[in-house]
Amino acid sequence: MKRILVIHGPNLDLLGEREPAIYGRITLKQINNALIKIAKRRKVNLKIIQSNHEGDIVELIGKGKKNKYSGLLINPAAYTHTSVAIRDAILASGIFTVEVHLSNIYSREEFRHKSLISPVAKGIILGFGSRSYTLGLEALLDLIES
């Protein structure tokens, strides 16, 4: 059975209450439940993690091959724009990666317009709210299967 690592970056544990005009009212638990439904239908195993700590995220990604993950679905959140370490871990892991964002980072503050992660990801899906995650997982699974 294929294994997929899902990483939710910093402050995503606050979904549903944090800036609902930008991120909506959906909770992280609801997003995870939607991902789990897709995983069951597509017969894959998900490991879902949320962390506010860059080093923890880097270690999880770095162990991706060792832990036999076929792919990574990641919303690096604020680390999108700042973390060379996460970028390098993705590159070093060699696993298929899809980057997702709830909001359209290009329609927000200028500092959010640069993603350090996008150049090392197979694809990026953003601006569709929680649907970005489900679209991202489906795309990641299609990439792995092709």
Residues with a catalytic annotation lie at 23, 101
Q: What is the C-alpha to C-alpha distance for residues 86 and 60, in angstroms, rounded to an integer?
A: 10
The position carrying tokens 């923890």 is 56
Hey, is 94 helix, strand or coil?
coil
Q: How far is it between the farthest Cα atoms of the chain?
A: 41
Residue 75 pairs with which residues in a beta bridge? 8
- Please say whether the beta carbons of 84 and 129 come within 8 A: no
CA dihedral (83, 71, 10, 56) in degrees, to 10, reads: -70
